[in-house]
Chain A
Amino acid sequence: MNNGDQRRLNGELEEDEEDEENNDGLAAWERAYADERSWESLQEDESGLLRPIDNQSLQHAQYRRRLRAASTTRIQKGLIRYLYIVIDLSKAASEMDFRPSRMGVVAKHVEAFIREYFYQNPLSQVGLVTIKDGVAHILTDLGGSPESHVKALMGKLECSGDASLQNALDLVQGYLNQIPSYGHREVLIMYSALSTCDPGDIMETIQKCKKSKIRCSVIGLSAEIFICKHLCQETGGSYYIALDESHLKDLILEHAPPPPAIAEFAIANLIKMGFPQRAAESSVAICSCHKEAKVGDGYTCPRCKARVCELPTECRICGLTLISSPHLARSYHHLFPIVPFDEVSLSLFIDQQNKLPKACFGCQQSLLGPGNKPGLHVSCPKCKQHFCLDCDIYIHESLHNCPGCDSTRHSKIPTANEG
């Protein structure tokens, strides 16, 4: 590109910016700062100096808070969940305070959420609902395949009209009433609008949801609204407003681990399930899910012998829930969580500096901070092994095993079946 072109392009850009300037009354140089929010990456230390935020210790503190909250409230978990995600696609969702738009950001994170949700809750189902022009639509029915939900969502990203909380709740409540009593009914609403445009009395609808034991949670993208707060309080859900994109991501992913089970909400029951065998490599059959002839690669329903392509699913012919033992095993870590590790206090260092291990038991990383002084680290209360902060997070958030306890003979882990 030659200089002339570039200048012309720049000129166009400036013109565009000037147009926008008239809208929000900020000069271009001011807007650069307003957009980047550069002040948010600074914090004040004890002596009042500004310095960049120490991300690692901050993240670790945040994670420990979350862990503590989880371990204190832990009773039983609702492992079989039926969740409707309601996405507000009213005019307000086209606002550009999130880039590129609220709608785009919500869709991106809902997609990540759906994948995470199925990873953590292999026996659960999700459905999608959109609100547009004051009407709620079912985008996808309750189902267990992440791909189909994501595809449907990405194909329907247009917004218009007003939002109606009541219509959405009525619709979802009607569907969730049909699910079996052992399932946990949940609604997660991504709400962009600052108002709701309802045909009747929304308070009645909220009471109906409460009666149906539907746990409603709202994540707001603009500001707190009374009716959303009221809804969440009544039904036992949570209500948060996203401050920025990363906060929104954290908020939505908080809904991925199973919530504590509440006895009145879901009645304990035995569910009949099938464990299909893999079909032989060379056998040819028409699968019941795509209605295509396939060679090998599939599972046979033990009750009606229909062929399905992937697990977990529900047999299309006889309705039996089909799973495999690894899917069940994937949920076991919710039932046998590892205890939070204790932070190793610095006073202990001075007492027994020679006895403490120099490297993390998990990854062999040195536990000594700058200047050969012991850095911040944690130790498992059971096996007394020391771990670095990174391993601490990895062990509790992804691995769900304590390498120390598993490396000693006498830590008996509650046993499940052998698969």
Chain B
Amino acid sequence: MASVPSKLYADDVSLLMVLLDTNPFFWSSSSLPFSKFLSHVLTFLNSILLLNQLNQVVVIATGYSSCSYIYDSTSAPSHGSDQGRMPALCSNLLQKLEEFVTEDEQLLKEASAEGTPSSLLSGSLSMALCYIQKVFRSGPMHPQPRILCLQGSSDGPDQYVAIMNAIFSAQRSMVPIDSCYMGSHNSAFLQQASYITGGVYLKPQQPDGLLQYLTTVFATDLHSRAFLQLPKSAGVDFRASCFCHKKTIDTGYICSVCLSIFCKHHKKCSTCGSVFGQAQSEVPSSTNRKRKASDT
């Protein structure tokens, strides 16, 4: 019974979750215009669907003030676009995208824009992971999921915890997070996400040739990746920065209650308010450990 469907879902069938950054603050200042970017991406999505007839593509738009599903290849009608000239994928996606962008703009007007113009990556990552869980639940025969973040805007520090949670959950379900970062500086969040989940992080040198980067690096299924020379991560810095001065540190003090990081000894934790006792560093424990180590 299981033999036929399992053949259908071979290891090269993929489910690609694309997180599309639509942040107007980034695209208005980017060297690559959004329309060009979009035409690269649409071509890429079409080629993914052509690689294997069972491949699935889901696109989630990551806006400034909201996130939304804008395309799902399993539910979208494959024929019958109203204009007749454009393929169904493009017309469906563009229509939804337009609706989304208008709505996002509306929300943006209601709220006063302040702080860093970052996108809500944590929201779209969480949605993508929920969708992938649904695919996992659908039975033993499912396509191999992966997430591709097409991100341009800079990291939002207030999303750190949420993004890390999403990364660990993806790592646990063995879903790689690939990232193609269009911004000017490297994104620390996406570098960590790709490193921890075993995905590929890429910052295209020439954004004009985006399609080529996408098809050569991100189009191959997970099984074939093992045989390719993909871009290697160039050293992810896992050092922490302290909460008090935001300095990157080599050694620091951790509050045992809430795990806040400080660069020097404080009397009271500024995050959780616990009062610390004696400035007891790790000295007693290390002597014990050494003694124990010599016992064994």
Binding site for B on A (CB under 8 A): 76, 79-80, 119, 123, 141, 175, 178-183, 261, 266-278, 302-303, 314, 316, 318-321, 324-326, 328-333, 335-336, 360-365, 390-391, 394-395, 398-410, 412-419
Other-chain residue from A314, A390, A414 in contact with B137 (beta carbon distance below 8 A): A390
Does B186 make an interface contact (CB < 8 A)?
no
Chain B residues near A412: list those with CB within 8 A: 158
- Residues from 107 to 155 in B contacting A, C-beta threshold 8 Å: 107, 111, 120, 122-127, 129-131, 133-134, 137, 155
Main secondary structure on chain A at its contact with chain B? loop
Question: Smallest distance from the beta carbon of A361 to chain B beta carbons, Å?
Answer: 8
Other-chain residue from B111, B188, B237, B243 in contact with A277 (beta carbon distance below 8 A): B237
Other-chain residue from A180, A324, A325, A413 in contact with B285 (beta carbon distance below 8 A): A180
Q: Is the CB of A269 within 8 A of B130?
A: no
Q: Is the CB of A269 within 8 A of B277?
A: yes
Chain A residues near B164: list those with CB within 8 A: 326, 329-330, 332, 419
Contacts A273-B253, A400-B165; A329 near B160 (Cβ below 8 A): yes
Q: Is the CB of A268 within 8 A of B276?
A: yes
Does B84 make an interface contact (CB < 8 A)?
no
Main secondary structure on chain B at its contact with chain A? mixed
Question: Smallest distance from the beta carbon of A289 to chain B beta carbons, Å?
Answer: 12
Name which of B122, B130, B158 has the most chain A CB atoms within 10 A of its CB. Answer: B130
Chain B residues near A405: list those with CB within 8 A: 123
Q: Is the CB of B188 within 8 A of A407?
A: no
**Nearest CB to that of B64 among chain A residues?**
A409
Once the chains are docked, how many angstroms separate the CA of A332 from the CA of B242?
A: 15
Question: Smallest distance from the beta carbon of A283 to chain B beta carbons, Å?
Answer: 13
Q: Is the CB of B158 within 8 A of A272?
A: no
Q: Is the CB of B277 within 8 A of A401?
A: no
Chain B residues near A400: list those with CB within 8 A: 165, 169
Once the chains are docked, how many angstroms separate the CA of A35 from the CA of B124?
A: 48
Question: Smallest distance from the beta carbon of A97 to chain B beta carbons, Å?
Answer: 31
Q: Is the CB of B69 within 8 A of A401?
A: no
Q: Is the CB of B259 within 8 A of A332?
A: yes
Does B261 make an interface contact (CB < 8 A)?
yes
Once the chains are docked, how many angstroms separate the CA of A414 from the CA of B162?
A: 10
Other-chain residue from A268, A275, A390, A401 in contact with B240 (beta carbon distance below 8 A): A275
Chain B residues near A324: list those with CB within 8 A: 238-240
Question: Smallest distance from the beta carbon of A141 to chain B beta carbons, Å?
Answer: 6
Q: Is the CB of B160 within 8 A of A416?
A: yes
20 contacts between A and B (CB under 8 A): A79-B259, A123-B259, A178-B285, A268-B276, A269-B277, A269-B278, A271-B253, A273-B253, A275-B239, A275-B240, A320-B282, A325-B239, A332-B164, A394-B133, A401-B125, A401-B126, A409-B66, A413-B161, A419-B164, A419-B240
Contacts A362-B126, A391-B130; A267 near B277 (Cβ below 8 A): yes
Does B25 make an interface contact (CB < 8 A)?
no
Q: Is the CB of A261 within 8 A of B257?
A: yes
Contacts A270-B266, A417-B246; A398 near B172 (Cβ below 8 A): yes
Q: Is the CB of A406 within 8 A of B258?
A: no
Does B223 make an interface contact (CB < 8 A)?
no
Once the chains are docked, how many angstroms separate the CA of A410 from the CA of B65?
A: 8
